[in-house]
Amino acid sequence: MVQKQKRKKYTTEFKNDAIKLVTEQGYSYSEVASRLGINSNNVIRWVRDQRQEKSKMTETGISPRELEAAKIIVWIMLQPSAFSVP
């Protein structure tokens, strides 16, 4: 019976460092991947995802995810029972 290999997890810090090597230092995807010992498709995906996230930023500099979280917090704060003492 063949055991399925677990997918390796990378920390956010590791991903951000790899992204910076491409976007700020000018290294190629394959060079970054080779130096870090990972598949270049990972680096390509991380850079693409970050660029897409940045392009979704609102005029205020808040990402859609942060905006949604703020809306939820405001909604909770406006609920009459949010601060009532029993």
| Cα dihedral 42/47/17/59 (nearest 10) | -150
Q: Quote the pLDDT of residue 52.
A: 82
Identify the residue whose tokens are 């010992």.
37
pLDDT in tens, 23-41: 999 999 999 999 999 999 9
Report H helices in 1-86: 12-23, 29-36, 40-55, 64-77
Q: Name residues of the chain where pLDDT drops below 50.
A: none
Give residue limits of the domains in the chain.
Answer: 9-55, 58-86
Cα–Cα distance for residue pair 14/33, rounded to 1 Å: 12
- Please write down the long-range contacts of 70-74, taking CB distance under 8 Å and 24 or more positions apart: none
Q: Quote the pLDDT of residue 19.
A: 96
